[in-house]
Amino acid sequence: MKLFVGIGGAVATAVLFASVCGIAQADSVLDNWRFDTGSDGLVTASLHATNKLITSGGTLSYSPILTIACRANGEPRWSEWLQLNDAVSASRTITVSVTVDKASKVNESWSVGARGRRLVRDGADGIRRLVSADRLQLSWRFGLLSGRGEADFDLAGFSEAVGQIAGTCNTELP
């Protein structure tokens, strides 16, 4: 009888430990994501690139930031954008080369946002393509003579982040 209780206690302890580790692991997947809900109903999750870009002054480096967003009461419902410290010279749209996991590059037209430091793509299809992805690479030209920028993102926790945003935004998953 004591042996059974001892084994049962050990099994219960192992199950409890495994469930706590599972919860901790799920939380750690989202540790790199930063969530925000704006007063205007915009719900966002942001992730820093794994690489660094050197600013035009050449003295500082920074990681571009990928943000996925949902508008609770507006259109377009879903958006993604890339936040930069250095401005691109384009004024309305820019071609961004997108590589998801190890697929071939696809060129897309992204809108140029505030002061040329934000590249924006609206629509659920952009978010949908990343839900099951592990890696995202974005590449763009800063200007005619300025060279290219690249941002590489480890998408661990992406589907969980989208799920959390959709829940907060009270909308369907893309």
Task: Measure CA 18 to chain center.
Answer: 28
Both 42 and 103 in a single domain?
yes
On average, the pLDDT of the chain sits at 84
Both 55 and 115 in a single domain?
yes
> Residues 6 or more apart from 173 whose CB is under 8 A from it?
131, 162, 163, 166
Residues 100-142 pLDDT 10s = 998 999 999 999 998 899 999 999 999 999 999 999 999 999 8
Looking at the whole model, is its pTM more than 0.85?
no
| Rounded CA separation 47/32 (Å) | 6
Both 153 and 94 in a single domain?
yes
Domain that residue 24 falls in: 1-31
Both 5 and 87 in a single domain?
no
Both 92 and 146 in a single domain?
yes
Domain membership of residue 67 (yes or no) is yes
Both 108 and 39 in a single domain?
yes
Residues 141-167 pLDDT 10s = 988 777 889 999 999 999 999 999 999
Domain membership of residue 174 (yes or no) is no
User: Looking at residue 27, what is its pLDDT?
Assistant: 57
Both 146 and 72 in a single domain?
yes
Domain membership of residue 97 (yes or no) is yes
Domain count, the chain: 2
Contacts 24+ apart (CB under 8 A), 101-104: 101/133, 101/134, 101/135, 102/135
Domain membership of residue 144 (yes or no) is yes
Reported confidence tier of residue 8, pLDDT bands at 50, 70, 90: very low
